[in-house]
Structure 1
Amino acid sequence: MFSKKKNTSKMDAEQRELYENARKRTLQKKRLFQHFIVFLGASILAIILNVVIGFKEEYQPLGYDWFVWIVLIWGFIFLIHFFNVLLVNTFMGKEWQAKQIEKLVAKQKEKIAKLQQQVEKDHPLPTKESKKSFPENKDPNDKFKPISPDNKPDQNYNH
């Protein structure tokens, strides 16, 4: 019950990740709702300023009252925010991202395996038979051996 060791298992990490994902999604939805409230309030305020109070009543870009343009542009921005939070994030969330990463890793592993096969085909490792073709005391990779009393230099060696 009161152990000093922390149990940091894989399940705890998964639960933390799920909690963090849920917290982020809740925050996204909360901000979307706040955006909607501010949009609604500002739209009503713009209509009241233009229609009721008569602020800049004569200003009509492209034949429409200025508040119409504010509501349309801000409404378009809100729709983008709405689609991003509720549609795009749902379809392209954490699960989608994890699947895409797994696919890319699998492709990379497949390419590495093909390259490995090609290298093994082009440059095979020496087999036991090829090692037997060389004398035991002579290494095919060593062209020069140090001179020792047991090992006399070749006759063709110039000093």
Structure 2
Amino acid sequence: MFSKQKRGTTLDREQHELLEHAQKRIRQKKAVFQHFIIFLIGVVFFVVTNKILKIGEPHNWYVWAVMIWAFIWIVHLAQVFITNPLLSTEWERTQRERLLEKQKERIRKLEAEIAKEHPLPEIPPKEEL
């Protein structure tokens, strides 16, 4: 009841990896949404600067700035929601396992070649005394 040992919840390795992956994805998605909010504030700032404060008024430079920023945001969005899920930890694990299997197969072939080219001499059985 009053033991000095603390009972902590221990996560096994797989659960820990899943938890870390989930936290990473949450941070990525949060960053995309923050980027979008900053983008909207920036657009309003550009329009106000150009139209109301009349800075660079003969030219609508803010349109180019907004288009470039929108392109950057779309790339960020695609990276988080398209590229990362395709190249997830599961994909990495599959690739790693496939490469390990190829290496093991190569080692088996080399061992077979060596055994064929340089067979070990047969050791005669020991005679009992």
> Under a length normalisation based on structure 2, what TM-score does the superposition of the two structures give?
0.84
Q: Identity percentage over the alignment? A: 42
1:116 to 105, 111, 119: 111
Q: Take 2:70 and 2:51, find their aligned partners in 1: how far apart are those partners?
A: 19
43-52 or 26-35: which moved more? 43-52
Secondary structure at the residue paired with 2:12?
helix
Q: Take 1:109 and 1:26, find their aligned partners in 2: how far apart are those partners?
A: 37
Matches within 5 A, 1:87-126: 87-126=82-121
Could you say which structure has the higher helix fraction?
2
> Under a length normalisation based on structure 1, what TM-score does the superposition of the two structures give?
0.70
Secondary structure at the residue paired with 1:128?
coil
Secondary structure at the residue paired with 1:54?
coil
Residue 68 of structure 1 aligns with which residue?
63
Cα shift at 1:53: 2.1
Higher-Rg structure is: 1
Runs of 4+ deviating beyond 6 Å:
5-9
Residue 35 of structure 1 aligns with which residue?
35
User: Which consecutive unaligned segments of at least 5 residues does structure 2 have?
Assistant: none
Matches within 5 A, 1:110-149: 110-128=105-123
Secondary structure at the residue paired with 2:5?
coil
Residue 51 of structure 1 aligns with which residue?
51
Q: Structure 2 vs 1, CA of residues 117 and 3 (structure 1 numbering), >3 Å: closer, same or farther?
A: farther
Alpha-carbon RMSD across the aligned residues, in angstroms, is 2.3
Residue 4 of structure 1 aligns with which residue?
5
Q: Take 2:113 and 2:9, find their aligned partners in 1: how far apart are those partners?
A: 43
Q: Take 2:39 and 2:28, find their aligned partners in 1: how far apart are those partners?
A: 16
Q: Give 1:26's aligned amino acid.
A: I
Cα shift at 1:12: 2.1
User: Which consecutive unaligned segments of at least 5 residues does structure 1 have?
Assistant: 132-159
Query: Which protein, 1 or 2, shows the higher relative CO under an 8 Å CA cutoff with sep ≥ 6?
Result: 2
Q: Take 1:55 and 1:13, find their aligned partners in 2: how far apart are those partners?
A: 57
Q: How many residues align?
A: 124
Q: Give 1:105's aligned amino acid.
A: L
Q: Take 2:7 and 2:102, find their aligned partners in 1: how far apart are those partners?
A: 37
Cα shift at 1:4: 3.5
Q: Take 2:32 and 2:23, find their aligned partners in 1: how far apart are those partners?
A: 14
Q: Deviations over 1:78-117 (max 9, x none)?
A: 1111011011111111111111111111111111111111
Residue 22 of structure 2 aligns with which residue?
22
Q: Structure 2 vs 1, CA of residues 5 and 13 (structure 1 numbering), >3 Å: closer, same or farther?
A: farther
